[in-house]
Chain A
Amino acid sequence: QRGLALGTPATGGSPGQAPRTGSITVSVAVRGPRFRKLKIGAGHRLDVKASGVFVLGIGHGNKLLTDLYNCHLTKVYTVGGLFGKATDDFSDTGNLVEKTTFDHITREKLERILAVIQGTNQKALLMYSNIDMKTQEAYELAVKGLIRPMGKSPPIITAIRCLQFALPEFQLEIHCLHETQQYLRKVVHEIGLELKSSAVCTQVRRTRDGVFTVDDALPRTQWNLRSIQEAIRNCQLKVETELEKTLA
């Protein structure tokens, strides 16, 4: 940072003369703070009732955000559900629509529904990926884990499994693409219907968004410049490799 001798000429010149050394545009006093406007972009949406990993881009990172969006990577959610009631917005804070019994529900029945969901979604995955399964290209993509819709598609669940089951509560882990959190709540509601009961969603928490996991995410106490800088540095390599792999 070159300093500037304002008003104090190098040699004893008269005040009318312009200073001979230094650019006047470098100084903080002239230019103002270095960062006046910071372009911050948001990644995949996370609605008000949900929590978890939320990816943001700063400056050049915004371009990377668009690239990451075009990678169509899967996101992982932990979804909590409660059997016994149904609401109008599928969450536990909505208006109650009906109450049902749930003692007939067993973990095995739930697993069966989850397997069916996974099966129908696998079909959808193939359909929207527009890949001919008979080609060598399909094999190459499958090896790299790239068989997924690389364009617009309805929400697709690539994997779903039950983490905890303690009537009336249950917890699912859902890997999905092109989803909204409301869609996940609807899935919980539909699971309740399939089990001849009803269910509401109590929690939607994103535990992974593409390459970013909960471990990379900064909690509220670390929302300061140093932590942000460090976090960006740590994830840089991961992001680059993923972009190279998918968009190359």
Chain B
Amino acid sequence: RRKDRVFVWGFSYSGALGIPSFVKPDAGWKKPRRIQPTPYRLETEEKISSAACGYGFTLLASNTRDITKVWGMGLNKDSQLGFQRSRRDQTKCYEYVLEPSPIPLPLEKPQQTRVLQVSCGRAHSLVLTDSEGVFTMGNNSYGQCGRKVVEDEIYSGSHLIHQLKEFDSRVVQVVCGQDHSLFRTKKGTVYACGWGADGQTGLGHYNITSVPTKLHGDIAGVNIIQVSSYGDCCLAVSDEGDVFGWGNSEYLQLASVTETTQVNVPRHLPFKIGKVKEAACGGTGNVVLTEEGNVFVWGYGILGKGPNLIETAVPEMIPPSLFGWSDFSPDTRVAHVRCGLSQFAALTNRGELFVWGKNLRGCLGTGRMEDQYFPWRVTVPGEVVDVACGVDHMVSMVRSF
């Protein structure tokens, strides 16, 4: 029978990999492992259905009906992993969580509600449930948790987990940017809250927003089927295959429609690359996947077409041969694209994982410490089902053959 496994790699000292022996060796002869350069298996009690990497921390979620549905590990200085009671002092909270620890959610029906998806930003997290809305925790200095900003609030050791239920329909996707949050509902509308200095909330101003508010602009009336963000730029894909963007454009992310470096209202990006299926936003670069299975990149940084392509405002296609397509396997296609802060990942329909970008503290998982200028296969023992990219670490959900 095929087993589901979780593999982690990247920087381990924050605890984000969830392997305590890397940080605090459990035997005298073992040495601490600062970086895990290749995929390492993480033992989990339950089958993990959703994972998200934040800035130095990780959330794992299972869609089980059991009481414990979400685990967190890594940085917890803003209680982005909830309150993790210290064993030595019951009143204190752990600042670093070294192994996957349950996050207690204040659910009304803990034995019925299921967690569908999790997302992590710089210092806040979002948990999406099927019937009890969205739970937010962590830093709220800019209203990114969807609740009123409390002056001089101390986030460390906080028990507060906020619940958001007021949307026009059920929320089906939650996305964390660096210090803002995006919510996509079943009706195809997008809500945002949090930091807005780059226009990343898309609400027509550059102020912070502490209540999830509906976006308009070019996406008004459009059925959005996917949103993405990780830094300060945001992308949305409609059911007709159009791409919309807002937020930071200092790195040419939105230069195809405007010369301004901040866009605070969703704008349609008139790319002629075919119907877009999925988009992913990084810190300085963006990637989209079309219905035909082609991968296009634009923005700034290591984009995946060799060291010569450092920036482009218009999407450029990465040749499919770099993802394993050849005359002898013409059915190989990219199925998903993902973005970390300065790296990209692509999953093919054969279950292979390709990565490229800056190899910050071994986050690419290639086994080498150099940056990767074009897609390179990561050796994983199994079929990679999904991958979550962070700043300096990655988590993947793998199914054994």
Contact = CB atoms under 8 A, between A and B. Distances in A.
A144 to B, nearest CB: 7
Contacts of B308: 136, 139
B371 A115 contact: no
Contacts, number: 60
A108 B306 CA distance: 35
Chain A's interface size range is: 20 to 34
Interface string A82-123: 000000000000000000000000011001101110110011
B271 to A, nearest CB: 22
A107 B307 contact: no
Contact of A122 (B377, B382, B400): B377
B322 interface: yes
Given A134-B370, A138-B373, A116 B306 contact: no
* Most interface-central of B3, B305, B307, B379 (chain A CB within 10 A): B379
Contacts of B321: 142-145
Interface string A200-227: 0000000010000000000000000000
B39 to A, nearest CB: 9
A119 B3 contact: no
Contact of B322 (A116, A123, A143): A143
B381 A136 contact: no
Interface residues of B, number: 24
Contact of A119 (B319, B373, B379): B379
B381 A115 contact: yes
A136 B319 CA distance: 14
Nearest to A123: B367
A135 interface: yes
Given A118-B379, A119-B379, A138 B367 contact: no
A135 B307 contact: yes
A167 interface: no
B372 to A, nearest CB: 7
Given A138-B306, A139-B374, A162-B401, A122 B326 contact: no
B318 to A, nearest CB: 9
Interface of B: 3, 38, 305-308, 319, 321-322, 326, 328, 367, 370-374, 377, 379-382, 400-401
23 contacts: A107-B400, A107-B401, A108-B382, A108-B400, A108-B401, A111-B400, A115-B379, A115-B382, A116-B381, A119-B38, A134-B371, A136-B307, A138-B306, A138-B373, A139-B305, A139-B306, A139-B307, A139-B373, A139-B374, A142-B374, A143-B319, A144-B321, A145-B321
